[in-house]
Structure formats: structure tokens, C-alpha cells
Amino acid sequence: MTPTLTVSWLREYLRRPLNLALLVLVPVVFVLLSAGALANFADVLSGGTDRNSIELATAGWAASILAGVGAFFHVSGSRQADRRLALTGLRLADVVGSRIISSAILGLLAVAGSVVALWVRVDVVDATRVITATVLSAAIYLGIGITVGAFVRSEFNGSLAIVFAWMFDVFFGPGMGSTGSFVRLFPLHYPTLILTDTTSNQSGIFGNIGLSVGWAVVSLAIGVAALAFTTAPRRRAARRPVPVVAEVGASAEVEVPSRSPARVRRVAALRAAGLELRRMPVMWLLMIGLPVAFISASIAVTPSTPTMVSLREGGKAVVAAIPLSTVHGAIMVPITVGFLASLAGLFVVLDSAEADRRLSLTSLRAGEILSVRMVVVAAAALVATAVSIAVTSVDFTPEQWGGFVLANVLVALTYGAIGVLVGPIFGRLGGLYILLILPFIDIGIAQNPMFDAAPPAWGRYLPSHGAVRVLIDTAFTPSFDETGAAILAVAWLVGLVALATVAFHRIVTT
């Protein structure tokens, strides 16, 4: 029975072949485009880091996050179906085992994409070591994804928790030069040591492999136990009937007369947005807590070594030497808010899609329904921006506060619109795969002056180029000289909002 169910789960996954393609393509893009930049970053943080070793580690990092996120959605999206199967009399071991095996097969696809990309980019001398560590990295996060998927109901909260755990794991782990004893508690600590061919105090490389296997076994065991616990049939107390109005979201609780004027409809839509915002406490906790933790830790580990940054001052191009910690404090804000805003746009719109289709049958128009969702997305983006700026201001003060804040708001709103746009096209899992890679490649690498004084030529065609140029100018120069970049940033925002509106209209009218 287990093989039959496994094939069924995989066939179900293949109904969206784009997800399968992205599962292989995203690690390829991540390894090919980010390996060199991450190696440079590690060298800056730790000094004397072997570039080839860090590039080898990117395969394990890419495979782990994709395996974790893929397992989370695979388990979370089928929670009710698995419970019903268990209630029909199928053995719990068959239901849970088939879900674990199918998740593992998807994780192996991510491993394959990561390893192939690594082979294309660098000369892999010890293939056995690299493949072993990459598989172990994926297995560890596979267990984490299954555990989170078993217990966390919200796809937004669960995926965000996995992604930020991974970000701390990678950027504050041994690959980036961290040597404190606390980093040994990170899941990817020992697989990263294997990939970078670094010995530790645990009997050299054989100790690292043994501890990595131990992490993988424990992680998967916890995942299996969590999935079995939440899938097993159990008696539940009778529940009071849930009003039908609760099924269509907060917007449905706002009465709209059948022939109400536009002003009344807009007021009703804004009231609905307020109701929805008050019902998302966990999202606010993440939007506030994660920037505080991630930005503070990033600034703390960055040295004050000078780095060259390309600027415009008085209408002329100049290159200035600026402490790396200062540059990191400035660029961490758009990196953080861009990613958070994009996820908010993705999940806010997709989670309310069914309710919005029903609302479109009332007097509310598609544009008015979209305004409710965009208010929620914009509020989340602005809160994340405000918190991120407040955190970085403890260690960094821009030359022009107004322009610096405006630039970050443009990044947040731009990526919020991108999240709204990619959701209807790629779905939850495919959209998350895209949003894992796009902000990182765009803001974290292409526009990041920590890696290069000026953005590469291809980086000028990415969404955040104009806004980040405004940010760099207002952060480090006393006068504003990036008028063209500001116009470009606004054009990107207007264009993406227009495309997102079209995509949203397709959701509510389908």
C-alpha cells in the first residue's frame, strides 16, 4: 500500500509541473549565481576563507532549504486528506510512510539540481564527500519541514519560520567564519564543515559525518513522530456550528448594500482590511521579531574593514571607502523588507482567493477587493520597514534620513507587488521558490555594494536597482543625485502594481 500511495502523492505533485521544474532550476540558479558572492562574503567576514570550499557548501545550502520548504508544503497541504485516509481504515504507517517517502524523493531532486550546478561551476575533487554532505543537509531540513508542516496551520508562518531558520543557519554558521560554541547547535553546522573540508574538535571529518548523520536521523525521527501524531485518528469534542460568513474572510463581515455608491463600498473595504489586520497576530510577530534578530546579528558579526562603494556626488561619479559594517547596516534593511513584503503579498492574496471570488459576486468590484488585500500587504511591508530601519539606526545613521526611508519603502512596496503577482502565476510553492531566489539575487547580490563597488550590468534590469541606488546615495552622501534612479524605481512599482492588478482580477473572476 505504501508504494501505491507514494506514487499517488507524486502524481498529485506533478499536476503542477512548474513546481517540479522550479525544484530543480532554483538550486541551479542559486549555486551558479550566488556561490562566488557568498565566497567573497565569507572571506570578508572571516578572512582567508578558501573560496572553493565555500562554493562547495552552497550545494548543501540550496538543497536543504528547498527540501525543507518542499516537505513543509507537501505535508501541510495534505493534512486533512491524510487524516481522512487514516479514518477510512488505512494503516497509519502506510499513510505516514508514503508521505515521508514522497517528500524524500522531492528532496533528492533538489539535491540533484544543486550537485549538477556545482559541477558546472567548480572543479569537484571529492565527489563522494560533497554528495554525502549535500544529501545529509537536505535530510536534516526535510525533517524540519515535515515537523513544521505537521503542526503549523498557516503556510505563511510555517514557510517563513523555515526560511529564517535556514538564513541564520547559513549566514551565522561555520561557512561564514563563526567559531562560537553556540553555532554547533545549528542544524547545518556539521554538514557545512564536511563540505568545506574543515576539521572540528569531534574527531575530524569522521566525527563531522557521524554528527551530521545523527542530526539527520533525529530530525527525520521527530518529523515522522510529528506527522504520525497529527495524522492518527482521534475522537474530538463536538464543535459548535461555524457561521458560513467566517468561511469567506473578514471582508464578508462588512455589509455592503447591493446598490451602494463607490464611497460606501470603499469604506466597507477599508473596514474589512482593518478586521483582517487584527486577525493576523503571528504575522505581526514575525514582521517585527525577525528583522530585529536578523539585522542585529548581521551587523554584530561584520568587521569595520573599508570597502569601495560607487556613489554620485555633485553630479559626478566617485568611489568612496566606507566601513563594511556601515555598508552592511544600510543594505540589510532592503534585503529584509524586500523578502518579508514579497511573502506577505504572496500569502495574503492566495490565502484569501476563495473568499475574494465569493466577494466578487456581491456589489464589491475586483479593484475594491484588491484594495483590501493591498492595504494588508502594504501595512505588513511598512511595519517591517519601520522595524528594520529602527534596528539598523542603532549602529548606522544615513546622511539623508528622508530619502533613505523613502528608498526602503519603495523596495518594500515593489516586492509586495511582486508577491501579489507571482502567486496567481506560480501558486504557493512555486511562488515561494521564486521569492526565495529573486530578492536574494536582486538585492542581496546584484545591488549589494559589499560585493562590488557598482552593480553589474545585468543587475540594472532587476526590480530594486533604482530604489537601492537611491538608498546608497541617501545613505552615504549629503546631497541627492539619483533622480533618474528614483524615476526608475517608481516606474517599476507602478508597472508591477498594474500587472498584479491584472493577475488578481483573474483570481476573483475565475
> Phi/psi of residue 47, each to 5°?
75, 125
308: DSSP letter: E
> Phi/psi of residue 322, each to 5°?
-130, 140
How would residue 175 be classed by pLDDT, with cut points 50, 70 and 90? Answer: confident
- Indicate if the pLDDT at residue 318 is higher than 70: yes
- How much is the pLDDT for 249? 43
Between 87 and 64, name the one with better pLDDT: 64
- How much is the pLDDT for 253? 46
Q: What is the mean pLDDT of the chain?
A: 81
Report H helices in 232-323: 262-278, 281-300
How would residue 468 be classed by pLDDT, with cut points 50, 70 and 90? Answer: very high
- How much is the pLDDT for 1? 57
Per-residue CA distances from 5 to 10, 109, 335 (Å): 9, 19, 41
User: Residue 173: CB partners within 8 Å, gap ≥ 6?
Assistant: 183, 186, 188, 189, 192
Q: What is the pLDDT of residues 270-291, one digit of tens each?
A: 666 666 666 666 667 777 877 8
Of 28-42, 65-79, 273-287, 388-402, the poorest mean pLDDT is in 273-287
| For range 412-430, the mean pLDDT | 89
How would residue 415 be classed by pLDDT, with cut points 50, 70 and 90? Answer: very high
Q: What is the pLDDT of residues 37-72, one digit of tens each?
A: 777 777 666 655 566 777 888 889 989 998 999 899
| Contact call for residues 342 and 416 (beta carbons, < 8 A) | yes
CB atoms within 10 A of CB 395: 15
How would residue 117 be classed by pLDDT, with cut points 50, 70 and 90? Answer: confident
What are the sequence ranges of the domains in the chain? 2-231, 248-509
- Indicate if the pLDDT at residue 254 is higher than 70: no
> Phi/psi of residue 154, each to 5°?
-80, 125
- How much is the pLDDT for 463? 95
Q: What is the pLDDT of residues 202-235, one digit of tens each?
A: 555 568 889 999 999 999 999 999 999 998 877 5
CA-closest candidate to residue 205, choices 197, 215, 213: 197
Q: What is the pLDDT of residues 431-446, one digit of tens each?
A: 888 888 899 889 988 8
Of 146-150, 392-396, 397-401, 484-488, the poorest mean pLDDT is in 392-396
| Contact call for residues 22 and 30 (beta carbons, < 8 A) | no
CA-closest candidate to residue 13, choices 62, 57, 70: 70
- Indicate if the pLDDT at residue 473 is higher than 80: yes
Report H helices in 198-256: 204-231
Q: How many residues does the chain have?
A: 510
Q: What is the pLDDT of residues 99-108, one digit of tens each?
A: 899 899 989 9
CA-closest candidate to residue 396, choices 335, 440, 336, 332: 332
Per-residue CA distances from 324 to 57, 310, 313, 400 (Å): 24, 14, 20, 19
Q: What is the pLDDT of residues 366-383, one digit of tens each?
A: 777 777 778 888 888 888
Looking at the chain, the whole-number percentage of residues with pLDDT higher than 70 is 80
Q: How far is residue 48's CA from residue 60's CA, in Å, rounded to a whole number?
A: 21
